Amino acid sequence: MDTRVVTSHLPSDLAEKLDGLAQRLDRPKGWVVKQAIASYVALEDERHRMTLEALADVDAEIEAWVRGLGKAKAKRRR
């Protein structure tokens, strides 16, 4: 698997929590960071997918409403 080095500045309190978590899990800090980022990316991908799905539903509802506008006028004229 290809990898890349990514650096980030963390607030000191968060870095200390990362240190403690890595020690408690007996894992390297890089492993904890990789797990956290993978989880966050998966969560955001799911949110994005759900947002697009919801927008498509709204579009379909609006299109159905617009198509129904002409039919409502035709029914009133009778």
Contact 31, 23 (CB under 8 A): no
Compute the distance between CA of residue 31 and CA of residue 22 in angstroms, rounded to an integer: 8
Rounded to an integer, the average pLDDT of 2-29 is: 97
pLDDT tops 70 at residue 10: yes
Which tens digit of pLDDT belongs to each residue from 26-65? 999 999 999 999 999 999 999 999 999 999 999 999 999 9
Say which amino acid occupies 54. Answer: A
pLDDT tops 70 at residue 25: yes
Compute the distance between CA of residue 25 and CA of residue 18 in angstroms, rounded to an integer: 10
State the pTM of this model.
Answer: 0.75
In the chain, domain spans: 13-77
- In sign, the C-alpha dihedral spanning 61, 67, 73, 77 is negative
Compute the distance between CA of residue 19 and CA of residue 34 in angstroms, rounded to an integer: 14
